[in-house]
A and B are shown apart, each in its own frame.
Chain A
């Protein structure tokens, strides 16, 4: 996966809570057997009207937020289905960072395994970002190494991240290759279990 450290971009304000992965990527697009090509279907039923024309009221269709790499939403982002097609769609569309007060557990894991940085900020902080981001394009500098988000007006926030996931994201490591280095432990566990039977 692609390493991630510093991202500078205007934010896209998605002012909703409990955004589920069915909305992020709808089931009719889950049939592809590749990891790529999902971006055009991101938030499909919010982005497009029933006749296929863009829904002008939806934030992703707002020309001010084109090429944004930072998606900001309310709490419990990514709830519901475990489909990894959701982060694949977010990444393929062009986002590298999501900011929200909280995430569903499986979605969070799926993000960090795909080089997407999911940042948790306080609810009040996210509310400020959403408000400012809706008023006018609002640029953020995200710095994973220092665990900070700095806005264009100088306001700065710090965030927590598990050091394990941080290393993975900074280096873009293949987790399976890392785990294979623990093969002797896995073998020992399997032998112990076999003897116990």
Chain B
């Protein structure tokens, strides 16, 4: 019978199954960070348990780390959390890329970079954006701290088999449209809970044509559609990304592994519980105007009006969102002034994101009323960007060039947007207070963020780009 990649990976990882119970699934890779792990390690200690497979774990510090001066963590509680992860990793033998390690970075950026993320693996982390790793055709999902403890102790999880959902993007993406716009458009069209109880597979021509980094951006935000995980079937793009990376086999062993990876792709004729299709032509550069990721529109549009909605609860939700966002119904999106720009996060802080943003910024100047920062996704990204001179492009334009970390995506460190101020952000969540108490977030792609930094308000980046001349 034709199967989806989701079913194939699931079946390969069943340790124990019994009718009326969730399946006991084996976990191939467990990523850890400082915020959601301390209570799990403490639980092990209290019960005299050990980490079953430290060799299948990998830890880093990203949520709390400072992006200005690495050696100064002002907040004593942050400092304690970081120190606690170091001590836990030492005690339990878990590999760690600590704060000054050359591999340090946002956990969802470094997993793929190091070749730890591979097709067919089950991957978990105490972080909802673990869905990022699905770009490789891995079954990757976020878990809570009790589950972190469970995986540390048993290398398994009890999981009820989710339903499958196909999101198909047909056609070719238009000029100036990036992966971020695709996923924001999907969530806007189908809602923040469309994926609840499902694992999404992204398919279609537009997805096939994306690089691995772009696929990561899309899979990253699967959780913002409520899905447990989102993935893309492996293809040659996947194989070529992984070739030569640390932690993947070499030579003939790699070719053999690559063959196994490619065989995981969804079979022709396999069916999904739910399928949705969007045509790439219908997607334009996107911005959010509300307080969840589904509250967004194309940049040429305006803030919706309560009259646009039929249901009272939707009218109420719009009013609540606009009250928080200090926006009027019907205001053109391109009229919204911003005071901050954040280029960073596990969604959009990879080398290709920084390259794309730098193309817009090159030779231009950040608007005087805007504070703009670039926070590379990892030390590796930072080094590569600096080798290409991207740091200089950003610095000369008036951006700050920072150390790596989660930073202003959730403002657990000192990088916060002040109350009452607005940020064009390449991150993944525009929830109330996400970037700092009272702050207002507009989610955008890296190029849209770059253009907003220059203009001082949300703007259509296509005005900054040369449309490619079609070849004869």
Contact = CB atoms under 8 A, between A and B. Distances in A.
Given A18-B317, A33-B39, A81 B154 contact: no
Interface in A156-172: 162-164
Interface in B121-153: 126-128, 141-147, 149-150, 153
A33 B21 contact: no
Contacts of B47: 174, 176
B158 A175 contact: yes
B158 A79 contact: no
A50 B429 CA distance: 22
A35 B42 CA distance: 10
Given A33-B84, A164-B22, A50 B128 contact: no
B9 to A, nearest CB: 14
Interface string B69-92: 000000101101100100000000
A76 B39 CA distance: 26
A73 B141 CA distance: 25
A180 interface: yes
Contacts of A87: 144
Nearest to A175: B150
Given A22-B433, A23-B432, A45-B432, A50 B419 contact: yes
A20 interface: yes
Interface stretch (A53-61, A63-71, A182-190): A182-190
B192 interface: yes
Interface in B151-172: 153-156, 158, 160, 162
A83 B39 CA distance: 12
Nearest to A76: B193
B305 interface: no
A105 B154 contact: no
Nearest to A109: B144
B345 interface: no
A76 B36 contact: no
Contacts of A182: 15-16, 24, 154, 156
Interface in B46-65: 47, 49, 52, 63-64
B468 interface: no
Contact of A179 (B35, B142, B158): B158
A75 to B, nearest CB: 7
A17 interface: yes
Contact of A164 (B20, B193, B223): B20
A106 B145 CA distance: 11
Contacts of A110: 144-147
B226 interface: yes
A20 B432 CA distance: 9
Nearest to B313: A17
A26 interface: yes
A34 interface: yes
A40 B80 CA distance: 21
A185 B155 CA distance: 12
Contacts of A28: 412, 437
Contact of A176 (B26, B126, B154, B292): B154
A106 B143 contact: yes
Interface string B302-321: 00000000000100010010
Given A27-B410, A45-B437, A113 B419 contact: no
Contacts of B196: 76, 102-105
A23 B432 CA distance: 7
B122 to A, nearest CB: 12
B431 A22 contact: yes
B115 interface: no
9 contacts: A22-B431, A23-B432, A31-B75, A79-B193, A80-B429, A82-B144, A84-B146, A180-B154, A185-B15
Given A114-B146, A183-B154, 12 more contacts: A18-B192, A26-B433, A30-B35, A45-B432, A104-B193, A105-B197, A106-B142, A110-B147, A174-B47, A185-B24, A190-B155, A193-B26
Ranked nearest first, the 4 interchain pairs of A and B with the lowest CB-CB distance are A84-B144, A33-B38, A110-B144, A113-B146
Interface of B: 15-16, 20-22, 24, 26, 35-36, 38-39, 42-43, 47, 49, 52, 63-64, 75, 77-78, 80-81, 84, 126-128, 141-147, 149-150, 153-156, 158, 160, 162, 192-193, 196-197, 223-224, 226, 228, 292, 313, 317, 320, 410-412, 419, 429, 431-434, 437-438
